[in-house]
Amino acid sequence: MNLLSLPAFDDNYIWMIHDGREAVVVDPGDATPVIAALDRADLQLAGILVTHKHPDHVGGLRTLLAHPRARAAQVWGPGNEPMPVAVIPVHDGDRIALPGLGLDIEVMAVPGHTLGHLAFFTGSILFCGDTLFSGGCGRLFEGTPAQMHASLARFAALPAKTQVCCAHEYTLANLRFARAVEPHSLALAAYEAECQSLRDRGLPTLPSTIGQERQINPYLRCDQPDVIACAVARGAEGRDPVSVLATIRLWKDQFR
């Protein structure tokens, strides 16, 4: 199975899995890079997974579905968010079977960034949209800190080798903030240097892994003493993980 990141817009990634014949894509905000990849590898599009409603994740759906290589594709997405095309609504705990590709995909409801946000887990790859980023998490546009913490805790419980395929190349900006939260972290310093090297060579920092994120992502480390101390110093209402996450997420919104 081949996993590809297709750059779109300024910093989006549209993810594609294919077996040399058929493909699945995640969050095609722009149809152009998807069609180019299908043509380049002579693939037919079997399915589209949509994590949430924002235009940079769904804006290419109409054009893509009108293309000859994608007309047979099924689209799965949130049942409680507006979509520009008809989707097969899926909910927490549902499974999407794509036997031709050998995929059995678990649907995870992960509210926080939006209320209907979904993630898709293949057993080894996590497509997490804008909920989890490498070194960060999404803005709380609709959900609560408690919802985001619960969603991220579900991700943190996945196997350490799980590949994390998020939808944006935000890694270096997130790591600059993470260093402000945990300035003495050697793991964080090493990972930042590694990611800077990748970007200097024009390469993506993604996918990350769950094991890596447990080591460096402050939003997965809200029970760690240094992260708690940082949040308390910035006025956290309590030392519990939800209060800590709420405080550092608000700080990140203002961080420059």
Which residues are annotated binding-site positions for Zn(2+)?
A: 52, 54, 56-57, 113, 130, 168
Binding-site annotation, residues: 52, 54, 56-57, 113, 130, 168
Number of helices (H) and strands (E) in the chain: give both, helices first. Answer: 9, 14
Q: Rounded to whole angstroms, how far apart are CA atoms 49 and 120?
A: 8
Is residue 7 within a helix (H) or strand (E), and if so which, with residue range? strand 2-8
Is residue 166 within a helix (H) or strand (E), and if so which, with residue range? strand 163-166
Q: Rounded to whole angstroms, how far apart are CA atoms 247 and 149?
A: 12
Q: Rounded to whole angstroms, how far apart are CA atoms 148 and 114?
A: 10
Closest CA to 186 of 219, 156, 152, 216: 216
Residue 199 falls in which region: left (phi positive, over 0), alpha (psi -120 to 50) or beta? alpha
